[in-house]
Structure 1
Amino acid sequence: DECVRLSRHALSASSSDDKPGERASIVPMSIASLNALILLLLSRLLVTSAGCTRARHHHGAWFPSVNGSKSWFSLNAAILASVPFEPQLLPPTELSMPLKAAGRQAQKMVAWMLDCELFMLRAFMPLFASKCSAPPITHAHHNHSTPFFIDSGANEGTWSVLAAAMGCHVLAVEPQPGCRGLVSQALSRNLLSDRVLIVPHLLAAEPMNATLDGRLCQGDREITENTTRRSALPVQVSSIRLDSLQQLWRPSAEVFLWHIDVEGAEILVLRSAKALLRSGRIRRVMVELLFPNWPTFGFSVEAGLTELRTVFAGWACVVGCNGLEYRFSSSELGACTSANSRFSRSKTAGADVFCTAP
């Protein structure tokens, strides 16, 4: 599991203090080895191989608020605990102060990141550190080079808040009103609102509308669902094209990373950005492909894969769970189901794919 991999990494890292040509020794234990072991034990408390369902796991990354309740969450502490043997991923000075989020939202953020998206953490952190640290989005000059992180399906705001804290300009696309409220709350509490533009729409190439429950924030919400619960608050949500957002067409603007997690609507979302993709402004895409949901949105798995091969022709794409090249073929539908990933645990055929533009 992840902790076994981390322990091997720890022993490998700690042996770097030994003299050249000597084998790493367990006894006597070096200071580096002892520190690595302590960090491993700490990470074992935070990183579990349990199922990847938001808001079901408590990982100890809490600290008391003024009234003594468990109300605040240190996101950077969770990062430090989850990747203790990869110092290049440690947060820069922008994350020296704890990021705060309210109780249940914090629980969701920790559980999802540490259970299921450690590989994204390793991919995103270096990009956030190298591409961000820009002026507030409201003060960006039209001629200023503006690197954007786009978070499609921002949900409760895990990646949007983290990116904003590291100085990124963020477009957080989230149609669920309940989720947008959580994102706004977290940004306000952390004084990060001026770095994030929340887009309250679906992304699609053609105009469409959906009815969602305005009181819920669910990571598995499909945009075609109707709200039928007695306690539901039906809210109509419309679509826009990503191509229509003028912020992305400023001179020298660049989307250094587009994160897409939209529960099966991936192709509809990608279609909304045809012009941006052709322009070369989008440099990297991390997309969750949820094949079983594709027919819900009107296309077969084979047709969807064919379209993705066209969209990402010439790009370098790898599978997030194992780093292997991804060719968008039907034989790769279960690319991550045999690995220790959220797809294997949820018994869902899918893959997180990371693509880099030529």
Structure 2
Amino acid sequence: MKRVRFLVVGGGFAGASAAFHLARMGAKGVLVIEREEAAGRNSSGLNAAMVTQTGGDPSVEEMARRGAAFIRRPPDGWPGGIRFAATGSLFLASGERLKDREAAAERARAAGLEAEVRGGGWARQRHALLEGNPAEGALWCPSDGVVDIQGLLQGFLGGAQALGAEFWLGCELRSIGAGGGEEFTAETSRGAVRAGCIVNAAGAWSGAVAGMAGAAQPPLRPCRRHLFRTDAVSWVRGDWPIAWDLDEGCYFRPEAGGLLLSPCDEDEHPPALPEVDAAARELLREKLGRRFPRLQWLRYAAGWACLRTFAPDGRFAIGWDPGVPGFFWVGGLGGHGATCSGAVGELAARLLLGREDPWGVAADFSPARFAQHAS
């Protein structure tokens, strides 16, 4: 029987980064199992590859800033570089949403990040495709941009392996039982594994993993989001910033000579690779017609969908399960997996090894908060 200290379930950004940081901090006996034949075939490899650092919960913003810093300057020993283009981002909004972005800009500046809210006219001059957009203003963050998600994920995987972590790809978790003492016995398609700790980094499948271990079921919701890519268009500039309309809920950015766009849909979906719903394409066209009319009738060369898992409060779930000793959560990243991966893995590794939380966010992400709210 295979014996390990940490059995990480899931080889996407959450699990790969946790394994990398555990190994980098000197942990031995780290095994990652991933049921797909290659890591990143689900959400981690199907997202929009955008790195954004403002807006939302302040604790998530903290992780985003630290994750973006990791991407810009990976640590010593990282296998190769990380391709990142700082194109900037424009978050367009009006009314209360614009006020929220003004508050986000203040928090960003207090943390040393360049960010400012400018008027809608300035934004429309800054980006040619915003003509006709009625937003009152926009939050401009020039250090946001686009990352090579496959390069980032492979860096975590390769770096963790170089430091001694093991990866079993094409390995399905079948059950988790008590192994005696404070250990677990996990039955997998490659045999039994005795583990001192289970790290649940299974994304949309995290509820099923928790159920196997008898752990609590945090209210994490897998939701489907669609993305569409246009044909190459001669007038698209690759250095255009990300443009995200918060009032309508849609975004676009340059991609492969064309544009990558999303209607920002969030319909709940069971944990399975989601199919493309034709209604999402029509929803995107309707939203573009109202906010970015020049883009409404572009031809789409490809479309796909991925799952993003959310907690009700928009925060991550990182920490020990309140009911099952030795069961640890790393999930609920809600579409922030690429941006925050470096910080998420470091925080998880620190907590797993009993080290200090240097950023003061562990309580905000603890799964125990769900039980407190339920009571």
Q: TM-score, normalised by structure 2?
A: 0.24
Q: Structure 1 or 2: larger strand share?
A: 2
Q: Structure 1 or 2: larger helix share?
A: 1
